[in-house]
Structure 1
């Protein structure tokens, strides 16, 4: 950590270790996303995204920009390790103050604070039929949550 930075709330890395990161904020939410993009990029029925303030994410400056592949869509930007293909982050254009960390890349032993539990399931309309979600009592959304969808629509209308 560089001078002036707080103690990490957690650390993480991609599969090959080329991209390492720390966050000075513990995860605030844990969202399971079943959208087709998350499914295809992960090869799994969903990706678990842990939300943190963008300003608390630190990727060391010696991490080469060539190590990180950026995928963009009309609403979000994802970062992926160029070497091993691990999903690292996702940030929505209308909410640059927050970023999602692929929870599978987090070093679980490093987590400080409360235990992480899923807070919502999104894109249920795209969930694969072969995957059954346990009855966990957590809110489920066909797409994004209502509040999220509203912010996204406002952001889209301001851009057009």
Structure 2
């Protein structure tokens, strides 16, 4: 797995789905797109990206698929027991996974580096100070 000493753990609301990620995230941020807002029931989804080799999952999930900004499938995994949204990507198929930071055991370990789809951010959601913001996906 990744960089020694850095470890993130988390899971769904009831604990049936769990994960452990090691190493520094490849990217972190907040997504304000309509799909993420609807999936989260909030104004955005805070996310952390990891190589699939850096993350271990346990428990069974259900998936919801929708079209991504780039035209492929966006796969969101949630707990079939409590409905908690936990991570993005297809285990065993994708090279990386997106952990939804709201599912972290220690939410203070999340530090966003970018805001994406800022053009869709609700006016009532304040951006963290000095957070770079992009109207869609950055290049």
TM-score interval, smaller chain: 0.7 to 0.9
Once superposed, what is the RMSD of the aligned Cα atoms?
2.5
1:8 shift after superposition? 7.3
Output the CA distance in 2 between the equivalents of 1:35 and 1:48.
11
1:59 shift after superposition? 1.4
Larger Rg: 1
Q: For 2:30, which of 18, 29, 32 is the aligned residue?
A: 32
5+ residue gaps, structure 2: none
1:14 shift after superposition? 0.5
- Quote the residue 1:69 is aligned against: 62
Runs of 4+ with >3 A deviation? none
Deviations 1:53-110 (A, max 9, x none): 11221113xx23xxx1111123221111122221111239xxx32211001111218x
- Quote the residue 1:102 is aligned against: 100
Q: Which has a greater percent of helix?
A: 1
TM-score norm. by structure 1 comes to: 0.71
Say if 2:19 is the partner of 1:59: no
Q: Which has a greater percent of strand?
A: 2
